[in-house]
Amino acid sequence: MTSVLRNAVQAAAFGVVVGFAALPIARAEEPAPPFKPAISDEVATAVSQMGKTLLAKNQSITARTIRVYLDQSGQPLHIFHEMKIVMRRPNRIAIVSTGDDGKHNLFYDGKAASIFLPDSKEYAVIAASGDIPSALNSVLDKIEVDFPLSGFLTDSPDKTLLSDAIAAWQVGTANIDGVECRHLFFHQKSGIDLELWVEKNSAATPHRLIATYRRLPGQPSLVAEFTNWSTQARPSDSEFAFRPPAGAKKIKLTPAVAPETKRSK
């Protein structure tokens, strides 16, 4: 049952391990020598503008994601999800996700994080506190999953995006749903290449993100498109509080056992 809940949180897909991406990445044992990232002026300006926009206290977003990864036979598979996200800084978030693997919801009310599977009416509650990234990290620690989008939710989205960059530049512009956007590219020390499309204006609201994991077999990727990104939402406390429906079954999570631990027994 833990594996089911692990998939549920992964489907919610809203957290971070490495910058704006979150699949396991092999890193060098020794830190790289200091260097000055080659960040173009266009990227620096756009990312700074985006960072200010994303610090709004209240936000609502619709995100559609496609995860591409290799199955056991080496064939690329595509997993689709649509998420509706509502958040209120610093410590409230609700994610309702519908995807190829079913429906999965996550709620954090400042006191606990709740994961709910509407299809099976199963849920789990995880002790969590602090701001949104801290709470999501608590969930990640308990269930060992990734949340590839929560770099947008940190207190410094601009610094989070640029902290791992070796180089970043503007590729050009593109029209997304009738909105002119800057197409930005980020090459990262972690081996992840990011493409980000933000509105070509002072808000620089994100419209699309693609992460390609160059160091992993088959170079899997994540594609996310954002619509209805609003900073005018006024969510009530009830939107972040989970109340189990009639007949719902609470699942007690057990710690995930690492493969080395299993072999030692």
Structural domain boundaries enclosing 230: 2-24+36-244
262 — phi, psi (to 5°)? -65, -40
Q: Is residue 261 part of a domain?
A: no
Run of H or E residues at 165:
strand 165-176
Q: Is residue 194 part of a domain?
A: yes
Reported pTM: 0.82
CB 169 within 8 A of CB 42: yes
Q: Is residue 257 part of a domain?
A: no
Number of domains, the chain: 1
Q: How confident is the model over 53-80, as a mean pLDDT?
A: 92
pLDDT tens per residue, range 222-251:
999 999 999 988 999 999 999 999 999 999
CB 173 within 8 A of CB 155: no
CB 195 within 8 A of CB 210: yes
Q: Is residue 264 part of a domain?
A: no
Query: How is 158-202 classified by DSSP, letter by letter?
Result: HHHHHTTEEEEEEEEEEEETTEEEEEEEEEETTSEEEEEEEESSS
17 — phi, psi (to 5°)? -120, -50
What are the structure tokens assigned to 98, written together? 């519908």
> What's 233's domain CATH number?
2.50.20.10
Q: Is residue 265 part of a domain?
A: no
pLDDT tens per residue, range 160-171:
999 999 999 999
How many CB atoms are closer than 10 A to CB 245?
10
243 — phi, psi (to 5°)? -120, 110
Contact residues for 51 (Cβ-Cβ < 8 A; gap 6+): 156, 157, 158, 159, 161
Range of weakest confidence among 10-24, 35-49, 111-125, 130-144: 10-24
pLDDT band (50, 70, 90) for residue 144: low
Q: Is residue 263 part of a domain?
A: no
